[in-house]
Amino acid sequence: MRGKVTAVVGTKWGDEGKGKIIDYLAQKADIVARATGGSNAGHRVVINGKAYPLHLLPSGVFNPNAKIVIGNGVYVDPVVLYKEIKALEDDGIEVLSRLYISEKAHVVMPFHPVLDEYEESLRENKIGTTKRGMGPVAQDKYGRFGTRMLDFVSAKQDVLHSVVDDQISYASRMKCKLENERIGLEIAMACGRSVGEYEEAIKVLGKRVCDTISLVHQWLEAGENLLIEGAQATLLDIDAGSYPFTTSSNPIASGMCTGVAIGPTYLSKVIGVLKAYDSRVGEGPFLTEDTGVNGSKIRELGHEYGTTTGRPRRCGWLDLVALNYSCRVNGLTGLAVNHLDTIGNFAKIKVCVAYKNFNEPNPVECEINNDERRTVPYVTKEFTSEVQKLKNCEPIYEELDGNFGDISKVRRFKDLPKNAQNYLQFIADYTGVPILYVGVGPGREDLIKCNLKPTK
Ligand code: IMP
Ligand code: MG
């Protein structure tokens, strides 16, 4: 029988703590794969008190028996990947011998991060990119100018320079139209610095480049289980998210299928990870953001600073309207709720249960109140990821009781205080999706496994 495939996806803007859930699920997986994004991702896994920040390797790497796949959908920065592998191997975690990198994965060239920064500088409305080259590498991929891992491996060492050179001249040609020599020079300098590092990285990684599509299917047919690890998250999806404040890939579940080239019917479980509050790093709409004391309190208690960029994250209350959207577009079969301990520090916890939507007049109210046509909002549970429409929405909150006390040692749902149980039940009931995991602390062991079903 074919092995099972589980996908773990971020439900909001990333940093939901996917790494922790994946780390747990990976213990039962034969294969763990990254399928989307690139080194813009930052997963922080804490093992025995030591934090391992990962950008390109799946967090499942900590299961020493799992095969590790970097799928065709990933944008690979070889230098970052090589450094990450070395850091783990220096700590005694063997990686290379079980790593399989797709020959089809596109390479983040030395100048892509430089262009990323440059393009961001041209934008009137900043996206707040991580500057890891994602936009530019995606442009080259879809423009069919890209360089794939296969191109690197098949190039002899002395050809490597010319592969890079070709790309530089292409990039310079295109971008110099925008700001002639200045950017051209910056690109050349940046590349001059890192071609050597590329050569070193590719020499080692090249041996692990292969046809992962064929291998993954062979392994599945042999009954092995695959865990696909999401990067970024649903509302950063270039199609389903709040464009243009998105990343340059498809982190939703269907994108994850594309990123390892399996059919959507292969997915047996799609687990959506959320926090008991919301956070966002980078620009773009965030309706339940709290820029006051509560937001700061969440940031400090939840240590909400970016793994990749170190930026303080914007924080606010849990938006259930947006979560419902995420359940739909990913087809979630289960939820994992992190940071229950963090939100439990509040005496009263707000959750957004609907939006006041001022985009359209409410027809019923309008008849009565004709003069105020534009000010009478719809109350809706229907999410929109459209930036312009979101500007005309306001969250409607319900308040739940907090003060959970110290729950960091709790390992069974039934041992949680009533208020904490109610909070979780509220989420399950609102979304209609069962809660399977609850995070009560940063460590891999700080996890409650449950099957909290919706009651309505
Ligand atoms: P890019 O992916 O670097 O182009 O950044 C686009 C947007 O996605 C920015 O708002 C980033 O902050 C955000 N972003 C990208 N990767 C992650 C991630 O792994 N976690 C959280 N936000 C991310
Ligand atoms: Mg992250």
Stronger pLDDT, 250 or 181, i.e. the higher one: 250
Find the mean pLDDT for residues 308-317.
Answer: 91
Compute the distance from residue 292 Cα to the ligand 1 centre, in Å: 24
Q: Percentage of residues in the chain with pLDDT exceeding 90? A: 72
Stronger pLDDT, 71 or 309, i.e. the higher one: 71
Stronger pLDDT, 395 or 443, i.e. the higher one: 395
pLDDT for 375:
55
pLDDT for 159:
52
Nearest-CA residue for ligand 1 atom 12 is 282
User: Does the bond joining 244 to the residue before it have cis omega, within 30 degrees of 0?
Assistant: yes
CA dihedral 194, 196, 200, 203 (to 10 degrees): 110
Compute the distance from residue 375 Cα to the ligand 2 centre, in Å: 39
Compute the distance from residue 132 Cα to the ligand 1 centre, in Å: 9
**Which residues on neighbouring strands pair with residue 335, listed in sequence order?**
272, 435
pLDDT of residue 179 exceeding 80: no
Compute the distance from residue 236 Cα to the ligand 1 centre, in Å: 7
CA dist 217 and 224 (Å) reads 10
pLDDT of residue 415 exceeding 60: yes
Ligand 1 atom with the smallest distance to the CA of 282 is 10
pLDDT for 186:
60
- Of 101, 92, 41, 26, nearest to 71 by C-alpha is 101
Lowest-pLDDT range, 54-63, 177-186, 438-447? Answer: 177-186
Residue 96 CB-density burial (10 A; 0-12 exposed, 13-18 middle, 19+ buried): middle
Ligand nearest to the CA of 12: 1
Using pLDDT thresholds of 50, 70 and 90, give the confidence band for residue 358: confident
pLDDT for 357:
87
pLDDT for 413:
98
Residues with CB under 6 A from ligand 1: 13-15, 40-42, 127-130, 132, 134-135, 231-232, 236, 247-248, 281-282
Q: Percentage of residues in the chain with pLDDT exceeding 70? A: 87
Using pLDDT thresholds of 50, 70 and 90, give the confidence band for residue 361: low
What is each CA distance from 83 to 18, 49, 197, in whole angstroms?
A: 22, 22, 10
Nearest-CA residue for ligand 1 atom 15 is 40
Q: Which helix (H) or strand (E) holds 2?
A: none
Stronger pLDDT, 383 or 178, i.e. the higher one: 383
Displacement of CA 355 from its chain's centroid (Å): 25
pLDDT for 180:
47
Model confidence over 127-155: pLDDT tens digits? 999 999 999 999 989 988 788 999 878 76
pLDDT for 369:
56
Ligand 1 pocket check: which of 114, 120, 232, 308 to mutate, most ligand atoms within 8 Å of Cβ?
232
pLDDT for 117:
87
Ligand 1 pocket check: which of 252, 281, 309 to mutate, most ligand atoms within 8 Å of Cβ?
281
pLDDT of residue 268 exceeding 50: yes
Residues present in the chain in total: 456
Residues 6+ positions from 370 with CB-CB distance below 8 Å: none
Using pLDDT thresholds of 50, 70 and 90, give the confidence band for residue 176: very low
Catalogue the active-site residues: 15, 43
Find the mean pLDDT for residues 161-174.
Answer: 58
Ligand 1 atom with the smallest distance to the CA of 231 is 19
- Of 429, 353, 434, nearest to 395 by C-alpha is 353
Reduce the DSSP state of residue 305 to 3 states and report it.
strand
CA dist 240 and 246 (Å) reads 9
Q: What is the overall mean pLDDT for the chain?
A: 89
pLDDT for 50:
81
Q: Half-sphere exposure of 76 toward its Cβ, with a 13 Å CA cutoff?
A: 35
Ligand nearest to the CA of 22: 2
pLDDT for 147:
86
pLDDT of residue 374 exceeding 60: no
What is each CA distance from 347 to 158, 195, 272, 399, 420, in whole angstroms?
A: 64, 55, 27, 10, 11
pLDDT of residue 161 exceeding 80: no
Q: Half-sphere exposure of 358 toward its Cβ, with a 13 Å CA cutoff?
A: 11
Q: What is the DSSP string of 148-192?
A: BHHHHHHS-HHHHHHHHHHHHHHHHHHHHHHHHHHHHHHHHHHHH
Compute the distance from residue 76 Cα to the ligand 1 centre, in Å: 16
Using pLDDT thresholds of 50, 70 and 90, give the confidence band for residue 360: confident
Model confidence over 14-51: pLDDT tens digits? 999 998 899 899 999 999 999 999 999 988 777 777 88
Nearest 5°: the CA angle 445, 91, 441 is: 20
Please, are residues 419 and 401 in contact by the beta-carbon 8 Å criterion? yes
DSSP state of 312: B
pLDDT for 105:
98
pLDDT of residue 269 exceeding 70: yes
Find the mean pLDDT for residues 237-260.
Answer: 97
Compute the distance from residue 422 Cα to the ligand 1 centre, in Å: 32
**Which residues on neighbouring strands pair with residue 379, listed in sequence order?**
356
CB atoms near residue 165 (< 10 Å): 14
Using pLDDT thresholds of 50, 70 and 90, give the confidence band for residue 83: very high
pLDDT for 35:
98
Reduce the DSSP state of residue 338 to 3 states and report it.
strand
Residue 303 CB-density burial (10 A; 0-12 exposed, 13-18 middle, 19+ buried): exposed
Ligand 1 atom with the smallest distance to the CA of 41 is 19
Lowest-pLDDT range, 68-77, 356-365, 397-406? Answer: 356-365
pLDDT of residue 174 exceeding 70: no
pLDDT for 55:
94
Token pair of 272 as six digits: 């959506």
Using pLDDT thresholds of 50, 70 and 90, give the confidence band for residue 366: low
Largest Cα separation within the chain, whole Å, is 78
Using pLDDT thresholds of 50, 70 and 90, give the confidence band for residue 177: very low
Nearest-CA residue for ligand 1 atom 8 is 247
CA dist 418 and 51 (Å) reads 32
The letter for the amino acid at 57 is L
